[in-house]
Amino acid sequence: MSNTDHTHLLVIGGGPGGYAAAFLAADLGMDVTLVDLEVNPGGVCLFRGCIPSKSLLHVAKILSESREAKELGIEFAAPKIDINKVRSWKNSVVTRLTGGLGQLCKQRKIKFVQGRATFLNSTSVKVQKTDGTETQISFTHAILATGSIPVNLPFAPASPRILDSTTALNLDDIPSKFLVVGGGYIGLELGTVYAELGSKVTVVEMLPNLLMGADRDLAVILENRIKTHFAAIKVSTRVTKMEETAAGIKVTFEDKAGQISTEEFNKVLVAIGRKPNSRNLGLENTKVTVTERGFVAVNAQRQTTDPGIYAIGDIAGDPMLAHKASHEGRVAVEAIAGHKVAFEPAAIPAVVFTDPEIAWCGLTENEAAAKGRPIKVVKFPWGASGRAITLNRTDGLTKLIIDPETERILGVAICGVGAGEMIAEGVLAVEMGSLATDLKLSIHPHPTLSETLMESAEGFFGQSTHIYRPKRP
């Protein structure tokens, strides 16, 4: 038997966007109900994505640095990897963070319902709870935050040897030969983990280059490094067939010349992208518009075509990033509260947590070229950075995209150690409409990698201390 409850705000999905929205709404005094399948908030990012993958990437970083310390005169014995302890460490991080979110949920007196919600109409949902019972919840406002799911290869056989971004994090074992299908950030991050743990990793990408979303001068730095860590990189190559064998997965490749080849791997990771999780939500029972790609159409306030329902995060459109979802969640709640607000960021940062890291925000060179927009690009190679040299990591690059007329900073991109941390300064510069002069005159601590941002700005005027460039005409 079902019962019916009413809540002012119903949030469906407990990921970074969903719980950020629920928490802010509660802080603003709203009656909030949060529905999610997990026992605590966190979503894909925390349970099966961002956090566990970064935990494993930290392990990979330790292994890489211990190996490369030989160049500095320090030599360690070959590491002994206890995969069970590595897995336990990763799981403990997830448990600690999700448990903390559960406590914050209780402290804010948010009603948390563990289950799956389906819209009955524009003002109510049915929730199939994980304990087998069913309930109905009516609402004044609702926020959809159901995220995204991995895209699968239709011809891939159902096999535990074929992994997606979720199952690859389980670390059931370390395969000797590991294929990554997809040269985007998910595939390269997880490929890095498995390579450092001992797998011979091959990456196959159907497009001409890896990380097609990043500017080529950044991606090539990463490519040059992973070539020394991965067994092989196949670009402009399609996977056309997979067959399970007694020992693994037999994969058929076709390159751009039409040449066919086969190779057998112990396990295969399919990381060819994600798609919005908008199906089976009962949206057909509402006035919500779903696009051909499966995204929910929203306005600047993240309001759907059904006025009482909002959508945020992966389901509301690209880019599919946790921090974008969190910001959208806060915008939606502010709009529901009657505040004047809009989601109109000038710079959403993107970070690829490989080694080296790649990060960018604002306008990229690729985007400027596509739009025919005139720009001035200034670059500072890390070979001229004292801090990079002390770290023995001179393979980095910092660059600024600048409007040649106004001298406004339009975009920032960094490839190198700690790029993900450094990009925050770039986001601030773009959002505030900073000029190259502003960044040039901001005193940065020495010796740090952050100085490369300042020296890039100096380079715009032909005044960089540590590299020589002719003065601007």
Question: What per-residue confidence (pLDDT) applies to 42?
Answer: 94
Beta pairing class for 309-311 and 134-144: parallel
Res 469: pLDDT: 72
For the segment 34-39, the average pLDDT, to the nearest whole number, is 96
* Per-residue confidence (pLDDT) for residue 1, from 0 to 100: 40
User: Looking at residue 317, what is its pLDDT?
Assistant: 94
- Give percent above pLDDT 70 in the chain: 99
Query: Mean pLDDT across the stretch 301-314?
Result: 98
Q: Read off the pLDDT of each residue in 202-206 and give the average, rounded to a whole number.
A: 97
- Does pLDDT of 10 surpass 50? yes
Query: What is the value of pTM for the model shown?
Result: 0.93
Kindly give, in sequence order, each residue whose CB lies less than 8 Å from that of residue 306, ignoring residues fewer than 6 positions away: 122, 286, 287, 288
Helices in 164-271 by DSSP H: which ranges?
Answer: 185-197, 216-226
Q: Is 15 exposed, middle or buried (CB count within 10 Å of its CB: 0-12, 13-18, 19+)?
A: buried
Spatial distance between the Cα atoms of 317 and 325, rounded to a whole number of angstroms: 10
What pLDDT score was predicted for residue 4? 77
pLDDT in tens, 328-374: 999 999 999 999 999 999 999 999 999 999 999 999 999 999 999 99
Q: Which of 8, 323, 327, 446 is catalytic?
A: 446
| Spatial CB neighbours of 350, under 8 Å, sequence gap ≥ 6 | 213, 214, 319, 321, 359, 360, 361
**446 belongs to the catalytic site:** yes
pLDDT at residue 470, rounded to an integer: 66
The 10s digit of each residue's pLDDT in 247-268 is 899 999 999 999 999 999 999 9
Over 50: is that where the pLDDT of 90 sits? yes
Res 213: pLDDT: 85
At 370, list the tokens: 């596509």
Q: Which of 31-35, 107-111, 210-214, 326-330 has the lowest mean pLDDT?
A: 210-214
Domains (range + CATH), the chain: 4-150+275-336 (3.50.50.60), 162-272 (3.50.50.60), 350-460 (3.30.390.30)
